[in-house]
Amino acid sequence: MATTLFPMSILFFFLLSLLNLPLQTLTASTDQTIKTFIFRVDEHSKPSVFPSHYHWYSSAFADPVQILHVYDTVFHGFSATLTSTQAASILQNPSVLAAFEDRLRQLHTTRSPQFLGLRYQQGLWSESNYGSDVIIGILDTGIWPERRSFSDLNLGPVPARWKGVCETGVQFSSAHCNRKLIGARFFSKGHEAAGRFGGPGGIGGINETVEFRSPRDADGHGTHTASTAAGRHTFKASMAGYAYGIAKGVAPKARLAAYKVCWKNSGCYDSDILAAFDRAVSDGVDVISISIGGGDGVSSPYYLDPIAIGAYGAVSKGVFMSSSAGNDGPNGMSVTNLAPWLTTVGAGTIDRSFPASVILGDGRKLSGVSLYSGKPLNGTMFPLVYPGKSEVLAASLCMENSLDPNLVKGKIVGSSPRVAKGLVVKKAGGVGMILANGVSNGEGLVGDAHLLPACAVGANEGDTVKSYISSSSFPTATITFGGTVIGVKPAPVVASFSGRGPNGLTPEILKPDLIAPGVNILAAWTEAVGPTGLDSDSRKTEFNILSGTSMACPHVSGAAALLKSAHPNWSPAAIRSAMMTTASIVDNRLQLMTDESTGKPATPYDFGSGHLNLDRAMDPGLVYDISNNDYVSFLCSIGYGPNTIQVITRTPVNCPVKKPLPENLNYPSIMALFPSTSRGTTSKSFIRTVTNVGPMNSVYRAKLEAPPMGISVMVKPTKLVFSESVKKQSFVVTVTANTRNLVLGESGIVYGSLSWSDGKHVVRSPIVVSQLESL
């Protein structure tokens, strides 16, 4: 009836997007389907008769045409297209240490430098010369080299140690590299093999109608992350007028190398990712940024995870590794990229927003966000419909072809990606859209460059809209847009989508490590697609505003470049420690950070050690360093044998007779796990060693904030004295809990902290207490 009277409407619906990726490992099979397998080979076993490892592999294991990549820097071995029977046969060779199927992964999709505490001509930006001569490798979707963010104006010569190249391909020549973008490569062999033989999920191959067989970015994600990490100062930057101002990366003078491993609409394959790690490290990068992850809520063991393996090889050679925590929050145990040699970055908001409002027919005004930049509704009230009333899930989620044009045409519609829902509404004739969160995402909002007037609202406002529609005989609404607002409080807030702890592989290691800006981030964009990334979006924009832990990760990559430039001798672990121990846990109201999904105080399962604070990270006072041998001891402690560890470390190892404890890895955070089966008072001790990187003669004293509810914490000694000859000091933290009356918070933990201070520096480590259920 309403459709006859009102030929125009606003659509309202619920956002329920989940990323589900298949976990695949090698199993014996009679299946003769050809797949890509990755083999880890003991490089020391090569017979001397073969001039190279490639000759050995192509003679003893697989035909040359089957071999896709040969790995020789962060990993030793090869990938090849084989049947499961052939792969199982190769695995019988004593020189082959491990084999696993190629696996499909996905991307974890301007005021932020100031929000991190960076200021012109002072502090870390000036002391590191804006990151000049540090090289950041970006493993992503490639790069759009013509953007102003990648100008080499006034940059010095390319560092002499650089060994990389500018690979040529479709619409990409060596001339596209310069003194800023010093290298670019693309990796497609695993991807193309999946297309020929049918890879995981049936995805693979390069669609050359939308892609470039070259380092050129057809997706936008890689250009965005590269410019977030190290974009040059760019004036008059905005996305259709939103976030107008000067855009710049965290390390504006750092050099960039783009490694294209992900392809538009079809993800990224492990075999290609591992090849990019191998090449990036041999090329000479100092930092690797990888905003990629995968899994279906189950993380692969480290020895079956090429990102973990490639990252270990990089870190062991002094390369800092920044990775995204994943976008499957706010669910517990949703954090990805868990290896302790990776720096795992969650996402927080910044103090900038793009407000929009839904005005209901009864006068109520509901707050939301939007980046819509087209013709406004000018206050006109339109009929309001909710397709979910039909109780058809596809309609309530505005899936393709799910909406009845007779119901939707000319209306505002309320509850696939968020912008794709708008396209569905627009195709069906709707004039606007209200996008409401499901209950799990709570009030967490991100802006989108919608194709029609649209506003995202939280779960509570969504319930209000639904209630209004069901109780009104003639529901109407309009949407207004408020542009850009800065100085928003509170900020930072932990983004509802940000991957959460606990660590599903090694719960003794707290993950994520920290959070960084990851909501509504302005950075450079490709010319190949519009700001929504939809094929039907013909708009062009130099910059785009995106959200995700993908955006948080390159903030830490840029930060690492600044720290590496200011402190060239610091190890990757020392750089991470500097960020973690100086991170902030309060917002701009000086109150404990909150969780966007609940509005309640956040915990270390949400933010790790806290929010990146670069002003303080430059001069942390003390650092928790970790050597390659420490990581080997950690792998021994979690039950890996020498052969399994060699898959990761490349070199044979021997585990000590007395098994180490994983919680004694010299990590900047402390995770105290008590068995749920124990009764009575139980204690756990943690050994840590700090290295003085501040004034030579320093005295640090301990300050403890014990977790509440019957838990006591002791530290011995309580004073650390450093001198010219004493640069390292060790201490023991003992956590005691009465498990009979241990009361944990809603997230399953309680927490406090240990801070070492010399009067100037404060070196803070969270102490998190939880119970571990026996399997």
Q: How far apart are CA 765 and CA 763, in angstroms?
A: 7
Identify the active-site residue in 133, 140, 328, 513: 140
Q: How far apart are CA 480 and CA 459, in angstroms?
A: 19
User: Is 389 inside any structural domain?
Assistant: yes
pLDDT band at 630 (very low <50, low <70, confident <90, very high): very high
Question: Count of domains in the chain?
Answer: 5
Query: Is 651 in the same domain as 724?
Result: no
**Residues listed for the chain:** 775
pLDDT at residue 114 in the model: 53
Find the mean pLDDT for residues 76-94: 94
The secondary structure element, H or E, covering residue 197 is helix 189-197
**HEC states along 735-770?**
EEEECCCCCCCCCCEEEEEEEEECCCCEEEEEEEEE
User: Is 259 inside any structural domain?
Assistant: yes
Query: Is 463 in the same domain as 530?
Result: no
pLDDT band at 635 (very low <50, low <70, confident <90, very high): very high
Query: Is 370 in the same domain as 462?
Result: yes
Q: How far apart are CA 336 and CA 328, in angstroms?
A: 9
Query: Is 185 in the same domain as 261?
Result: yes
pLDDT at 382 over 60: yes
* Catalytic residue check, 669: no
**What is the greatest pairwise CA distance in the chain?**
86
Q: How far apart are CA 759 and CA 109, in angstroms?
A: 41
CATH code of residue 737: 2.60.40.2310
Q: Using one digit for the tens of pLDDT, what is the confidence trace for 697-725?
A: 999 999 999 887 779 999 999 999 999 99
Query: Is 518 in the same domain as 566?
Result: yes
Q: Are 546 and 521 in contact (CB under 8 A)?
A: yes
Helix, strand, coil fractions of the chain, as percent rounded to 5: 25, 30, 45
Q: How far apart are CA 432 and CA 62, in angstroms?
A: 57
User: Looking at this protein, which amino acid is placed at residue 427?
Assistant: K
pLDDT at residue 23 in the model: 26
Among 425, 450, 483, residue at a domain's last position: 483
Q: Are 689 and 666 in contact (CB under 8 A)?
A: yes
* Catalytic residue check, 463: no
Mean pLDDT of the chain: 88
pTM over 0.85: yes
Two tokens, residue 286 = 């100092």
Query: Is 557 in the same domain as 445?
Result: no
The helix/strand count (H/E) of the chain reads as 19, 38
Query: Is 729 in the same domain as 751?
Result: yes
Considering only CA atoms, which of 736, 745, 734 is closest in space to residue 712? 736
User: Looking at this protein, which amino acid is placed at residue 269?
Assistant: Y
Q: Using one digit for the tens of pLDDT, what is the confidence trace for 526-565?
A: 999 998 888 888 999 999 999 999 999 999 999 999 999 9
Q: How far apart are CA 261 and CA 142, in angstroms?
A: 8
User: Is 721 inside any structural domain?
Assistant: yes
Q: At what angle do helices 642-649 and 306-316 cross, to 10 degrees?
A: 70
User: Is 442 inside any structural domain?
Assistant: yes
CATH code of residue 217: 3.40.50.200
Lowest average pLDDT, out of 27-31, 81-85, 628-632, goes to 27-31
Identify the active-site residue in 176, 221, 233, 761: 221
User: Is 232 inside any structural domain?
Assistant: yes
Identify the active-site residue in 227, 550, 565, 597: 550
Query: Is 424 in the same domain as 479?
Result: yes
**HEC states along 121-165?**
CEHHHHHCHHHCCCEEEEEECCECCCCHHHCCCCCCCCCCCCCCC
User: Is 156 inside any structural domain?
Assistant: yes
Q: Using one digit for the tens of pLDDT, what is the confidence trace for 315-336?
A: 999 999 999 999 888 999 999 9
User: Is 369 inside any structural domain?
Assistant: yes
Two tokens, residue 527 = 């010319």
pLDDT at residue 476 in the model: 94
Find the mean pLDDT for residues 633-648: 95
pLDDT at residue 17 in the model: 29
Find the mean pLDDT for residues 578-596: 97
The secondary structure element, H or E, covering residue 91 is helix 84-91
DSSP code per residue over 486-538: ES-SS-S-B-TTS---S-SS-TTS-SS-EEEE-SSEEEE--SSS-TT--TT--
Q: How far apart are CA 530 and CA 539, in angstroms?
A: 5
pLDDT band at 403 (very low <50, low <70, confident <90, very high): low
Query: Is 129 in the same domain as 241?
Result: yes
In terms of Cβ atoms closer than 10 Å to its own Cβ (0-12, 13-18, 19+), residue 65 is exposed
Q: How far apart are CA 351 and CA 369, in angstroms?
A: 14
CATH code of residue 367: 3.50.30.30
Query: Is 137 in the same domain as 271?
Result: yes
Q: How far apart are CA 548 and CA 498, in angstroms?
A: 7
User: Is 307 inside any structural domain?
Assistant: no
* Catalytic residue check, 140: yes
Range of the domain at 124: 112-289+506-582+607-616
